[in-house]
Amino acid sequence: MPKKIAIVVPVYREAENLPALYQRLELVTAQLPEFTWEYIFVNDGSPDNSYEVLASLAATDSKIKVLDLSRNFGKEIALTAGVHESINCDAVICIDADLQHPPELIPRLVSAWGDGAEVVVTVRTSTDREPLVRRWGSTIFYWLINRVSSFEMIPKATDFRLYDKKVVLAFERATERERMFRGIMDWMGFRRVLIEFKADAREHGEAGYSYSKLWSLAINSITSFSLWPLRITGYLGVFITGSSTLMLLWMLGNYLLRSQILYTPLAIVVVANTLLIGVVLMAIGLVALYIGTIHTEVINRPLYLVREKIGCA
């Protein structure tokens, strides 16, 4: 019996790219007739006519499955929904709909899987017309996350990956709501192979991830995989408390001995309050991030809700 591979595609404002992506997937999968294929498109509450385009494609091809989420839950959740739907497949490939991930690499991913890899990761060597801010931001993020977390995330790695069924089954045990999809996959480990590629520019539309969303994803990733922000706040509090204590003793000694009056009592109070308030506010802000994450987990709402399915059991 031939092995079955699912291709999961999160969709948000990609109506113009979907027909071209489908055609390229068809050309690539036709080169691998020894496998059976299914395409799982997850419409993540797209405000354009992406769902209508997907429904039209599904009407002409039984390989296509469509999950229409009840609203926009974000790419990380859309990927999760697609992978959950692929549980009966022997492997799953995640790929973006914007054509920056070349479907023509799929045979290489499948070949590496056949050679024993359990996770096949694609790594961008460059991206056409990538904004400088995104490039620098990505570099800083990976540098930071790899120093504060207990595992390694591959710099410039993308969501364009192949996962063996055993990885998918392990992923189902992850329950956090504030998630970075590939961060969880990297945390799980398994045998990995890297494949480099040069990403093309988007053909149509705008990137679904705004800078504010990227910032939120970065913060969530750091707080999800590391307690370092809390530790550094504690260390900073100890340092500032010690420094301010020494400064206050010096200021008070100078004032009491009256060797040279440089500071008034009000200046001493202002310095002490400013330092201590800064430490307290920083600590409260960081603790609030973790409490917010705990609150989200404790509420225990579903990760996502599906409004409608096409072609799914």
The verdict on 276 and 182 lying in the same domain is no
Domain enclosing residue 171, as ranges: 4-226+302-310
The answer to whether residues 199 and 101 touch, using CB atoms and an 8 Å cutoff, is yes
In a shared domain, residues 158 and 259: no
Q: Are residues 13 and 129 located together in one domain of the fold?
A: yes
Q: DSSP string spanning 47-116? A: SSSHHHHHHHHHTT-TTEEEEEESS---HHHHHHHHHHHTTTSSEEEE--TTS-S-GGGHHHHHHHHHTT
Residue type, 300: N
Same structural domain, 9 and 157: yes
For the cut 90, the answer to whether the pLDDT of residue 76 exceeds it is: no
Q: What is the pTM of this model?
A: 0.68
Q: What is the DSSP letter of 5?
A: E
The whole-number pLDDT of residue 286 equals: 66
* DSSP-assigned beta bridge partners for residue 43: 11, 68
Q: Are residues 36 and 48 in the same domain?
A: yes
Tell me how long the chain is.
313
Co-location of 90 and 181 in the same domain: yes
Same domain, yes or no, for 175 and 78? Answer: yes
Dist. CA 164–CA 172, nearest whole Å: 13
Asked if 219 and 164 sit in the same domain, the reply is yes
Residue 143 Cα distances to 59, 156, 185, 232, angstroms? 46, 11, 18, 17
Question: Are residues 8 and 129 part of one domain?
Answer: yes
CATH number, residue 12: 3.90.550.10
Residues 213 and 119 in one domain: yes
Please write the tens of the pLDDT for every residue from 86-123: 888 999 999 988 888 889 999 999 999 988 899 999 88
User: Any idea which of 22-31, 76-85, 164-173, 208-217 has the lowest mean pLDDT?
Assistant: 208-217
Give the residues across from 39 on adjacent strands.
7, 64
Number of domains, the chain = 2
pLDDT digits (tens, 9 = 90+) for 252-305: 666 666 655 566 666 667 766 766 776 676 677 667 666 766 766 666 678 888
pLDDT tens track for 126-157:
655 555 555 565 666 665 555 556 556 666 77
Closest by CA position to 188, among listed 204, 172, 201? 172
Other CB atoms within a 10 A radius of the CB of residue 15 amount to 18
Same domain as 271, residue 177: no
Residues 288, 186 share a domain: no
pLDDT tens-digit readout, 199-251: 665 555 555 555 565 556 565 666 565 656 666 666 676 677 677 777 767 76
